[in-house]
């Protein structure tokens, strides 16, 4: 008697089905967990990169303003360990009829109220113009606490999230931005650069 | 009832579909993430390249300013052919106005682009013969100027004779009528060449020329000159038919008459050109123009007994004045716009060797290069030879009477620095090989003892002693420039300002710096700049070499009948489309090149078109400037200069 | 059967995604490193600009004996970059180096004598060239009379993907004020 041929459409037993389902569930769970973790890290990474990019952009704007400014007009004039969170200056616009033309007074600083970096132009005979470059500034520079000490070891005391220090014709600009990610974690980006005022008078050579 | 096989068939492939969906989703996520990241990365890379390009642009400004200090235009490369700077390319546009120079530099590195600009105040003050604290001279002297880049002083300086009559007819010794009406000059230089200018007019009949050329009444005639001129025959004509040969006495008389009646309205500038010869005139031959004497203080010149002359301009201090008595001043008198800030002497830091007294009959040679000696004295009968190029620093430098200093600066420039005493005693001899003043400088650090220049010398060079009193002897003739704190001249000193040294002492002053907008076509194309501007077979020029390539100097001398204007033009108006100049009928145009080889810019060359009347024929030329011999004299009817 | 076939496909897809995330992370690390190096280099250029032009060579060369403020007081030719690790084979552990047109003019076996030379052969700095304004290239030491100064900053560090280098170039001169 021939053994009946097992049909190709024979199904799985319940045990096999449960085993397969369990394995599938475990694999899927691991896979989903991994993807979630990676997605979260990527989001954080993206946020951090975007934050750093924003910080670099603001820093570059400030740096260009300082480079084009007249050293004589740059106020205030704080050397380490003191720093300031705003500067006022004038930039060189060109020469007209043999006379050097300077811009209206401009200022860049930290607005404490909303932790924003602002740029302002203050013409004599017109309303002042004001632009906010970012509102993600930390109240104090990364690692710094308002305790009268240099907590982050950069030589400054209680420096704000945007700080300027001046050494002769060079200005060091420090900026810390922070933000919260979608899952509530805080990311911080701190950037720093030093630039010199290119518009000097002969007296500035001796400062 | 559905069969199991059918039901199973319906389930076939569903897992694969599911897998396909998952893969599609994953691919989409990966793609979008990569796109975002790539975009962010490109932006950051561009920002990095922008910073690199910024510093390359600043490098271009530095090279351009350096070029200005060396007498170039400041332009480097072009927007079509930028030059190599570091890892990138750059070009600098130089724009000149009357008072300013604008240098705009664009740098390109990778995808980065940056443009920066500086405004410079061009220093138009020619120091010439300059004394910081004022000038007070009461001896006869001669100050004039020349341009060694055009021709040496000796071929520029002139003696002259004048022939005139009171009937507006003039002839030469051969009784040839040179022109019929008016007055003219005939010049004879030391080489015996005779120049006749038939651009003439009777100022009394043409008052518009007096106004046009700014002629003011002033006596120029020196009766002693005509009296000593035995080679001139003065002939009178009346209406061109009757001629009388004058005796010497009559010549004197008519010459005086001519001076009083006709030359009285001519400018002073021509007077020294009428000196017949050096022996007759204590001033000797001169160029009659281009001298400059200046000071931050007042200038007082007097020479009551023997004539003294400044054939050129006088620039006194902004808060001071000018006085003169018995001194001919051919040019303008004015105040400096502001006090000139003289840069201190910067002595190279060389190791100073022990000094020596050279008293051997054999010459002692100081070879080319940088060297220093504490104190050097050259005794009578001995010779010290300095070989260029190089710089020599001396604690003291003394030349005893009978000693000799030879400066072989033909191979290259020589700079002498003295930190102590300079004592060139009378009877010593100084010879310079090069006749270009830029090839020799004597720079003296501030000294309480005067710089004594009493040796015999035709000193082709510059003397820069801004903190010292400089005393110049009669036998020390300077062809260059002289800058001192105070100046003392012996009777009969001749000082000749070489205008080719203009600007070599004072660099343009930085007025301002700013970041400029990047040119649109540069901003929009962010590809590899080397691929944009050059093919694989082409190599961009390096910046230092490019300084010389695009710099071109055209000398345009515009002569009127009694004035000469000498312009070395190298502004941007010469760089580009055709420059046409239609000279006034009374003006002559002389076109020459100076110093630089025929320039090429991206394969382009200078071309010139000129039409002129050389008094015999109307000539014309159009073609490369390299092949053009220039126009020397004659009436230029039209000329244009362009590069293609 | 399809499940068995599909699962590896899905897993491979997940691996691809994972790899993409990793690559993205590494790319961002690279650009972050670049940004830090560039910023450090810019600050270094600016610090040099902040000094009298005639002192730049002595402040930023490798010779401590010619420092303007006294031996060993100058910053020297090396500079650090925050957040970037030096290569293990770097002699003094520094990341950044300032390259000036300087050569050792001492004879073999003698103590080094550093000179600023026009006849230096260094294509990246644009040498040989004239730097003292006389239009000639000579063999003299121009440490005290240079009028233009090409400067190359180089950084070598151990990056995420291995050893990396970066360069920035500029030229400085002394503008008259």
Neighbouring chains of C at 3+ CB pairs under 8 Å are: A, B
Tell me how far apart the alpha carbons of residues B414 and B442 are, in angstroms, rounded to a whole number.
Answer: 9
Share of chain B above pLDDT 70, in %: 61
Asked whether the beta carbons of residue B514 and residue A93 sit closer than 8 angstroms, the reply is: yes
Size of interface B-C (CB pairs under 8 A): 161
pLDDT digits (tens, 9 = 90+) for A77-135: 666 667 889 999 999 998 887 788 999 999 999 998 999 999 999 988 888 899 999 99
pLDDT digits (tens, 9 = 90+) for B237-284: 222 222 233 333 333 333 333 333 333 222 222 322 222 232 234 567
Residues of C within 8 A of B60 (CB-CB) are: 171
Size of interface A-C (CB pairs under 8 A): 60
CB nearest to B40's CB, from A49, A100, A200: A49
Note the pLDDT of residue B55.
97
Could you give the ipTM of this predicted complex?
0.92
Note the pLDDT of residue A77.
65
- Token digits for A59? 């820093």
pLDDT band at B116 (very low <50, low <70, confident <90, very high): very high
Say whether pLDDT at B512 is over 70: yes
Note the pLDDT of residue B614.
63
pLDDT band at B634 (very low <50, low <70, confident <90, very high): low
Say whether pLDDT at B577 is over 60: no
The angle formed by the CA atoms of residues C133, C138 and C140, to the nearest 5 degrees, is 95
Q: Which helix (H) or strand (E) holds B141?
A: strand B141-146
Q: What secondary structure, in 3-state letters, does chain A show?
A: CCCCCCCCCCCCCHHHHHHHHHHHHHHHHHHHHHHHHHHHHHHHHHHHHHHHHHHHHHHHHHHHHHHCEEHHHCECCCCCCCCECEEEECEEEEEECCEEEECCCEEEEEECCCCEEEEEECCCCCCCEEEEEECCECCECCCCCCCCCCCCCCCCCCCECEEEEEECCEEEEEEEEEEECCCCCEEEEEEEEEEECCECCHHHHHC
Q: Are B56 and B109 in contact (CB under 8 A)?
A: yes
Residues of C within 8 A of B342 (CB-CB) are: none
Residue B29's DSSP bridge partners are none
Asked whether the beta carbons of residue C140 and residue B62 sit closer than 8 angstroms, the reply is: no
Note the pLDDT of residue B386.
95
Query: C73 at the B interface (CB within 8 A)?
Result: no
Taking the CA of residue B318 and the nearest CA in chain A, the distance in Å comes to 18
Asked whether the beta carbons of residue C177 and residue A35 sit closer than 8 angstroms, the reply is: no
Lowest pLDDT segment from B149-163, B318-332, B401-415, C120-134: B149-163
Cα nearest neighbour of C131 on chain B: B66
Q: How distant, in Å, are the alpha carbons of C36, C37, C79, C81 from that of C86?
A: 13, 12, 11, 9
pLDDT digits (tens, 9 = 90+) for A49-74: 788 889 999 999 999 999 999 888 88
**Can you tell me whether residue B275 is helix, strand or coil?**
coil
Cis before A76? omega within 30: yes
Query: B4 at the A interface (CB within 8 A)?
Result: yes
Tell me how far apart the alpha carbons of residues B83 and B85 are, in angstroms, rounded to a whole number.
Answer: 6
Note the pLDDT of residue C19.
80
Q: Are C149 and C102 in contact (CB under 8 A)?
A: no
Residues of B within 8 A of C2 (CB-CB) are: 12-16
Note the pLDDT of residue B643.
52
Helix then strand then coil, in percent of chain B rounded to 5, is: 20, 40, 40
Cα nearest neighbour of B40 on chain C: C28
Greatest pairwise CA separation for chain B in angstroms: 155
Cα nearest neighbour of A101 on chain B: B512
Say whether pLDDT at B588 is over 60: no
Nearest C-alpha neighbor of A69 from the set A95, A104, A96: A104
Query: B513 at the A interface (CB within 8 A)?
Result: yes
- Token digits for B382? 């001995």
Note the pLDDT of residue B629.
60
Nearest C-alpha neighbor of B302 from the set B459, B434, B136, B427: B136
pTM over 0.90: no
Tell me how far apart the alpha carbons of residues B266 and B89 are, in angstroms, rounded to a whole number.
Answer: 56
Query: A56 at the B interface (CB within 8 A)?
Result: yes
Say whether pLDDT at B140 is over 70: yes
Nearest C-alpha neighbor of A175 from the set A131, A130, A144: A144
**Can you tell me whether residue B348 is helix, strand or coil?**
coil
pLDDT digits (tens, 9 = 90+) for B291-306: 999 999 999 999 877 7
**What is the dihedral angle through the alpha carbons of B537, B540, B541, B542, rounded to the nearest 10 degrees?**
-130
Query: B365 at the A interface (CB within 8 A)?
Result: no
Tell me how far apart the alpha carbons of residues B638 and B608 are, in angstroms, rounded to a whole number.
Answer: 11
Residues of B within 8 A of A93 (CB-CB) are: 514
**Nearest 5°: phi and psi at C40?**
-65, -40
Tell me how far apart the alpha carbons of residues A33 and C109 are, in angstroms, rounded to a whole number.
Answer: 66
- Look at the block and give the residue holding tokens 């003299």: C140
Note the pLDDT of residue B357.
96
pLDDT band at B587 (very low <50, low <70, confident <90, very high): very low
**Nearest 5°: phi and psi at C93?**
75, 10
Average pLDDT across chain B, whole number: 70
CB nearest to C21's CB, from A31, A38, A201: A38
Task: Please report, for chain C, the start and end positions of each structural domain, with discontinuous segments joined by +.
Answer: 2-173
Asked whether the beta carbons of residue A34 and residue C14 sit closer than 8 angstroms, the reply is: yes
Interface test with B, best of C66, C134, C154 (most B CBs within 10 A): C134
Note the pLDDT of residue B159.
43
Asked whether the beta carbons of residue C7 and residue A27 sit closer than 8 angstroms, the reply is: yes
Neighbouring chains of B at 3+ CB pairs under 8 Å are: A, C
Lowest pLDDT segment from B328-332, B496-500, C23-27: C23-27
Say whether pLDDT at B230 is over 90: no
Cα nearest neighbour of C122 on chain B: B86
Q: Are B123 and B509 in contact (CB under 8 A)?
A: yes
Cα nearest neighbour of B7 on chain A: A9
Tell me how far apart the alpha carbons of residues B552 and B548 are, in angstroms, rounded to a whole number.
Answer: 8
Q: Which residues contact B302 (CB under 8 A, 6 or more apart)?
A: B137, B138, B308, B323, B324, B325, B326, B327
Tell me how far apart the alpha carbons of residues B387 and B368 are, in angstroms, rounded to a whole number.
Answer: 5
Say whether pLDDT at B332 is over 80: yes
Q: How distant, in Å, are the alpha carbons of A102, A197, B388, B481 from that of A204?
A: 17, 10, 38, 31
Interface test with B, best of C1, C5, C6 (most B CBs within 10 A): C6
pLDDT band at B12 (very low <50, low <70, confident <90, very high): low
The angle formed by the CA atoms of residues B169, B173 and B175, to the nearest 5 degrees, is 55
Tell me how far apart the alpha carbons of residues C117 and C130 are, in angstroms, rounded to a whole number.
Answer: 9
Query: A21 at the C interface (CB within 8 A)?
Result: no
Domains recognised in chain B with CATH numbers: 14-123+508-540 (3.30.1300.30), 129-140+328-501 (no CATH), 158-274 (no CATH), 554-643 (no CATH)
Taking the CA of residue A96 and the nearest CA in chain B, the distance in Å comes to 10
pLDDT along chain C (177 residues), means of 10: 74 78 76 88 95 91 85 90 84 85 89 89 90 75 88 92 91 87
Residue B370's DSSP bridge partners are B391
Note the pLDDT of residue B559.
41
pLDDT band at B59 (very low <50, low <70, confident <90, very high): very high
Q: Which residues contact A94 (CB under 8 A, 6 or more apart)?
A: A100, A101, B119, B512, B514
Note the pLDDT of residue B558.
42
Q: How distant, in Å, are the alpha carbons of B97, C42, C97 from that of C154?
A: 40, 12, 5
Residues of C within 8 A of A172 (CB-CB) are: 43
Q: What is the CA radius of gyration of chain A?
A: 29
Asked whether the beta carbons of residue C25 and residue A192 sit closer than 8 angstroms, the reply is: no
CB nearest to B514's CB, from A8, A49, A92: A92
Pairing of strands B554-559, B564-569: antiparallel
Query: C21 at the B interface (CB within 8 A)?
Result: yes
- Token digits for B282? 């204590």
Asked whether the beta carbons of residue A199 and residue B40 sit closer than 8 angstroms, the reply is: no
Note the pLDDT of residue C155.
94
The angle formed by the CA atoms of residues B268, B272 and B274, to the nearest 5 degrees, is 110
């Amino acid at each position: 008697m021939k053994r009946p041929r097992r049909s190709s459409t024979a199904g799985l037993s319940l045990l096999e089905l449960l085993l397969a389902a369990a394995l599938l569930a475990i694999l899927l769970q691991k896979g989903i967990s991994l993807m979630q973790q990676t997605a979260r890290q990527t989001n954080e990474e993206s946020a951090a990169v975007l934050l750093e990019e924003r910080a670099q952009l603001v820093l570059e704007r400030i740096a260009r303003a300082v480079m084009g400014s007249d050293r004589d007009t740059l106020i205030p004039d704080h050397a380490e360990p003191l720093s300031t969170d705003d500067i006022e200056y004038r930039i060189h616009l060109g020469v007209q009829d043999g006379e050097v033309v300077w811009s209206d007074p401009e200022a860049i600083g930290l607005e404490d109220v909303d932790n924003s970096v602002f740029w302002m132009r203050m013409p004599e005979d017109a309303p002042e113009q004001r632009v906010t470059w970012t509102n993600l500034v930390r109240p104090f520079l990364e690692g710094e606490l308002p305790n009268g000490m240099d907590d982050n070891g950069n030589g400054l005391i209680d420096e704000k999230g945007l700080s300027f220090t001046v050494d002769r014709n060079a200005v060091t600009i420090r900026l810390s931005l922070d933000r919260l990610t979608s899952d509530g974690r805080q990311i911080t980006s701190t950037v720093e650069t030093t630039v010199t005022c290119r518009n000097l008078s002969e007296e500035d050579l001796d400062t | 009832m559905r069969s199991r096989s059918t039901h199973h068939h319906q389930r076939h492939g569903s897992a694969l579909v599911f897998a396909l969906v998952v893969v599609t989703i994953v691919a989409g996520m990966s793609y979008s993430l990569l796109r975002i990241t790539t975009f962010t990365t490109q932006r950051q890379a561009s920002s990095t390249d922008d910073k690199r390009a910024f510093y390359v642009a600043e490098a271009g400004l530095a090279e351009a300013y350096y070029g200005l200090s060396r007498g170039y235009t400041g332009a480097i490369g072009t927007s079509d052919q930028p030059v190599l700077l570091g890892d990138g390319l750059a070009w600098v546009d130089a724009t000149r106005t009357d008072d300013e120079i604008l240098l705009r530099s664009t740098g390109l590195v990778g995808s980065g682009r940056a443009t920066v600009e500086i405004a410079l105040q061009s220093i138009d003050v020619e120091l010439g013969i300059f004394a910081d604290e004022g000038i007070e001279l009461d001896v006869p002297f001669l100050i004039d100027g020349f341009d060694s880049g055009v021709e040496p002083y000796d071929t520029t300086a002139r003696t002259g004779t004048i022939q005139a009559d009171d009937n507006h007819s003039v002839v030469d010794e051969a009784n040839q009528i040179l022109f019929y009406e008016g007055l003219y000059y005939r010049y004879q230089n030391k080489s015996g060449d005779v120049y006749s200018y038939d651009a003439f007019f009777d100022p009394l009949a043409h008052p518009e020329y007096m106004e046009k050329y700014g002629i003011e009444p002033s006596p120029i005639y020196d009766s002693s000159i005509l009296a000593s001129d035995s080679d001139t025959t003065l002939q009178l004509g009346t209406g061109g038919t009757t001629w009388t040969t004058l005796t010497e006495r009559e010549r004197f008389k008519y010459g005086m008459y001519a001076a009083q009646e006709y030359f009285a309205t001519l400018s002073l500038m021509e007077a020294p050109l009428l000196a017949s010869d050096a022996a007759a005139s204590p001033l000797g031959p001169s160029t009659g123009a281009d001298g400059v004497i200046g000071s931050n203080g007042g200038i007082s010149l007097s020479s009551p007994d023997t004539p003294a002359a400044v054939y050129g301009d006088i620039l006194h201090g902004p808060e001071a004045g000018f006085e003169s008595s018995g001194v001919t001043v051919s040019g303008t008198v004015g105040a400096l716009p502001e006090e000139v800030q003289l840069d201190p002497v910067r002595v190279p830091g060389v190791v100073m060797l022990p000094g020596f007294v050279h008293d051997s009959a054999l010459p002692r040679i100081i070879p080319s290069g940088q060297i220093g000696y504490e104190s050097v004295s050259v005794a009578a009968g001995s010779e010290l030879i300095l070989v260029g190029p190089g710089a020599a620093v001396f604690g003291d430098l003394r030349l005893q009477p009978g000693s000799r200093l030879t400066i072989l600066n033909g191979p290259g420039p020589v700079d002498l620095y003295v930190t102590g005493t300079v004592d060139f005693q009378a009877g010593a001899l100084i010879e310079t090989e090069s006749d270009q003043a830029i090839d020799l400088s004597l720079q003296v650090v501030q000294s309480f003892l005067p710089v004594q220049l009493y040796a015999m010398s035709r000193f082709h060079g510059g003397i820069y002693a801004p903190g010292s009193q400089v005393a110049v002897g009669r036998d020390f003739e300077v062809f260059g420039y002289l800058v001192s704190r105070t100046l003392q001249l012996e009777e009969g000193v001749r000082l000749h300002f070489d205008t080719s040294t203009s600007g070599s002492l004072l660099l343009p002053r930085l007025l301002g710096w700013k970041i400029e907008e990047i040119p649109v076509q540069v901003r929009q194309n962010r590809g590899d700049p080397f691929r944009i501007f050059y093919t694989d077979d082409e190599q961009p020029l390096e910046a230092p070499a490019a300084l010389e390539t695009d710099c071109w100097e055209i000398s345009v001398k515009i002569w009127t009948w009694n004035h000469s204007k000498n312009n070395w033009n190298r502004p941007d108006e010469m760089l580009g489309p055709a420059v046409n100049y239609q000279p006034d009928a009374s003006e002559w145009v002389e076109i020459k090149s100076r110093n630089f080889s025929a320039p090429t810019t991206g394969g382009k060359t200078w071309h010139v078109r000129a039409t002129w009347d050389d008094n015999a024929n109307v000539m014309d030329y159009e073609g490369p400037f390299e092949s053009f011999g220039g126009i020397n004299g004659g009436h230029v009817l039209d000329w244009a200069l362009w590069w293609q | 059967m399809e499940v068995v076939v599909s699962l590896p496909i899905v897993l491979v897809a997940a691996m691809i995604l994972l790899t993409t995330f990793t690559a993205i992370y590494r790319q961002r690390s690279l650009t972050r490193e670049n940004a830090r190096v560039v910023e450090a280099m810019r600050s270094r250029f600016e610090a040099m600009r902040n000094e009298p032009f005639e002192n730049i060579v002595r402040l930023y060369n490798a010779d401590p004996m010619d420092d303007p403020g006294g031996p060993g007081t100058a910053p020297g030719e090396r500079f650090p970059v925050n957040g970037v690790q030096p290569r293990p084979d770097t002699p003094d552990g520094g990341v950044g180096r300032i390259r000036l047109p300087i050569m050792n003019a001492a004879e073999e076996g003698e103590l080094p004598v550093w000179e600023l030379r026009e006849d230096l052969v260094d294509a990246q700095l644009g040498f040989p060239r004239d730097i003292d304004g006389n239009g000639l290239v000579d063999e003299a030491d121009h440490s005290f009379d240079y009028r233009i100064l090409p400067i190359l900053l180089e950084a070598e560090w151990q990056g995420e993907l291995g050893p990396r280098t970066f360069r920035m170039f500029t030229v400085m001169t002394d503008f008259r004020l």
